[in-house]
Chain A
Amino acid sequence: MLEVKNLIKTFGQVKAVDNLTFSVKPGKIFGMLGPNGAGKTTTIRTILNIIKPNAGEVLLNQKPVTQDLFNSIGYLPEERGLYKKSKVADVITYLAHLKGMNSSQIKTETDKWLKKLEIPHYKDRKVEELSKGNQQKIQFITAVIHNPELLIFDEPFSGFDPINQQLIKDVILDLLDNGKIIILSTHQMDTAEKLCNEILLINEGKEVLSGSLSDIKQKFGGNHIKFAYEGEIKFLNEMDEVLSFEIYSNEAEVHLKNDVKPEIFLRKIIDKVTIKQFSIIEPTLNKIFIDSIKNKN
């Protein structure tokens, strides 16, 4: 289990991480969400001991995270990059050596992972000769090859096509079954919604929401409906029944006041716009995200 207690990190006057406390249990994916500049990357760097916190502690299985635990941690940073002029196998070997693996382990594991990610034929190619997606796969391998206890993925799916996204998703779920502690930091709410069991939403270094996804949805609660439509729906702005709404291409998600019955609302709008579909829903993570951040501001 990873425990983060009262973590504080300041840069000059700015509090990048402001008293964060959370824990991550093995076997569940922990989603760390937040808008740009919320302090996600700083939190991750502090967990990894890349930067020292001003206060607080980080424990992995009751032991503070220091250089002794480096070999039990795998990290995929958001911004990707590898030694471009070097050979794929050489880069993997170097980074795996740094994680304390020996040469024979590295050989078998490299072959295994290249095969698993469907790129065994690139082993002896230079990194710069690979497509961006394939370079990302190599980087993914360097994060997981040493079979670490704790895995931190920062936007693991960005830059992948849907097929490869699925491939990476399956690999991550595999790792989960092996009892790894996994932190997933992302902006993609639909991915987070599908993969994460636990959520931590942060903004300006502070916790905004935390808990299991179902708890959060229940707590956020309220009266949510979604409808697909054709036409113009600007009138939602003027309706007293509406607390807030989000518009996706030809769908709208609306948060109604608690005493408004959905069928009454439907009756009111049906003359103004063509409704193609109408449903009562739990709020999506996306809506929760936007509302929580907006309310805070």
Chain B
Amino acid sequence: MKKAVTVAKWEFLEKVKSKAFIISLFVTPAIIIAFSVLPTILATKESDSTKAIGILDLTKEYFSDLKNEIEVYKLNNNLPAYAILNNYKPDLSTDSLIKSADAMVIDNKLDGYLLIQKENNDSLKVEFRSKSIGNFQDVARFEEAFNNLRIKRKLLSENIDPKIIEVIKQRTNVNQIKIEKPGEEGKGGFEMVFFSSIIFILLLMMMIIYSGQMLVRSMLEEKSNRLIEILISSCTPQDLLFGKVLGLSTLGLTQVVVWLLIGFSLIGAAIVPITSFDNIHLILLYFILGFIFYTTLFVGIGSVASTEQEAQQITSYLSLLLVLPSVFIISTLQNPDSSLVKILSYIPFTLPSVMILRVNVSPIPLWEILVTMLIMLLSILIVMKISSKIFRFGILYYGKMPSLNEIKVWLKE
């Protein structure tokens, strides 16, 4: 055990001192922020200047009313959000009208234009044509404006009381409120929960993959220069395996602490919502358990590699196993009580990621938390045992990768 600590200390210090680690310490959160925070900020941020929008109404029925509907929208400084231009000219053909409107967009005279035309079967077709697609907010507004207009006209033509029309036009939004305890409302909607869960799962995955690769590579070095023979004539393979896992977990923890500090400072800067850290104690526990579980697996299975390519193969297969549950992220969020999600939260491979998600989405009964933690601890013990058996043979194994049958024999000894 004392020797395991010696190994852990060495693994930790050697890696903490490496340039690669120091870079990853700061680059990883930067990448995650770039990929998860910025798009959210950019997507929800309102534009601060009036956009020039054209309307090409080939039906000649909607222009002026639609203009009024759209001009309702204001910017924060009370200027109109959209300046409307009529693209229709009576003498020109449909094709040349569309072409000249397109040209205005390409030349940046317009941010985009709405094309309204009748199709063959007399139904309406509306397009928003612009250089970039993806401006959801604008399109949603145009859609609402146009539909409002149509409903209003239809109702008027049926001689409905204008008061009723007003009632119909009013929309009711359903707000999502998360309940944590009776009478206690959680803050944050879907995006917030999604964002704060995904960031931890991303961190977990990136860290495991990164440290797993580092671990397998360093083991490969020890194997190829036969240092491993000196090591296991100095301590038992179990000590060595345990030391490596311990050292790497400490390294991982250091990383998480640094990242948390970065996270807290971002709260200060109001970039990250404080609610992301509501369930931090549970999330951290699952995080650490998941990390140890996968690290142990990486050490055991990685020990059979004797070339760089094999190491690459093994780490990518294991990483795939790790990333797989992220397929279920959306469905977990949408339906945290589905039986699929329940099953996934009892399988050790998917348990940590799924539980990190569930903890954020809905309150989880204490017994379930205890059971999942117990499953994780037991799985770690089992994986330790299996890994140390494979490890014992794997580290002295050179040449082609061992077959499953060979590994079976190792496990029996």
In chain B, residues 195-250, which have Cβ atoms closer than 8 Å to a Cβ of chain A?
A: 221, 224-227, 229-236
Q: Which of B224, B227, B236 is most buried by chain A, counting CB atoms within 10 A of its CB?
A: B227
A70 touches B396 (CB 8 A): no
Q: Is B169 located at the chain interface by the 8 A CB criterion? A: no
By size class, the interface of chain B is 20 to 34
- Contact A79:B226 (CB < 8 A) given known A51-B396, A97-B6: yes
* B225 interface neighbour in A71, A75, A81, Cβ under 8 Å: A81
Candidate in B3, B7, B230, B232 with the most chain A CB atoms within 10 angstroms: B230
A98 in contact with B229 (CB, 8 Å): no
Nearest-neighbor residue (CB-CB) of A139 within chain B = B230
A67 touches B236 (CB 8 A): yes
Q: B18 near A: Cβ within 8 Å?
A: yes
Report the Cα distance A79→B226, complex, angstroms: 6
B226 to chain A, nearest CB (A): 4
B residues in contact with A17, CB < 8 Å: none
Please tell me if the beta carbons of B230 and A80 are within 8 angstroms of each other in the complex.
no
Identify which of A77, A84, A85, A90 contacts B229 (C-beta below 8 A). Answer: A77
Count, chain A residues at interface, CB 8 A: 29
Q: What is the distance, in angstroms, from B24's C-beta to the closest C-beta of chain A?
A: 16
Q: Quick check: A98 and B3 within 8 Å, CB to CB?
A: yes
Q: Are A83 and B226 in contact (CB under 8 A)?
A: no
**Do the beta carbons of A81 and B233 come within 8 Å of each other?**
no
Contact B234–A81 (Cβ < 8 Å): no
A50's partner among B6, B18, B221, B232 (CB-CB below 8 A) is B232
Contacts of A217 in B (CB 8 A): none
In the complex, whether B138 has a CB less than 8 A from a CB of chain A is no
Question: Knowing that A45-B229, A83-B14, A98-B3 are A-B contacts, what are 19 other residue pairs whose CB atoms are under 8 Å apart, sorted by A's residue number?
Answer: A45-B396, A50-B396, A51-B396, A67-B236, A70-B234, A75-B229, A77-B226, A77-B229, A78-B226, A79-B226, A80-B225, A82-B227, A83-B221, A90-B14, A94-B6, A95-B230, A98-B6, A98-B231, A99-B234
Interface residues of B (CB under 8 A from A): 3, 6-7, 10, 14, 18, 221, 224-227, 229-236, 396, 413
Task: List A residues at the B interface (Cβ < 8 Å).
Answer: 45, 48-52, 67, 70-71, 73, 75, 77-86, 90, 94-95, 97-99, 142-143
19 A-B pairs in the complex with CB atoms less than 8 angstroms apart: A48-B229, A70-B233, A77-B226, A77-B229, A77-B230, A78-B226, A79-B225, A81-B224, A81-B225, A81-B227, A82-B227, A84-B221, A86-B14, A95-B230, A97-B6, A98-B6, A98-B7, A98-B231, A142-B230
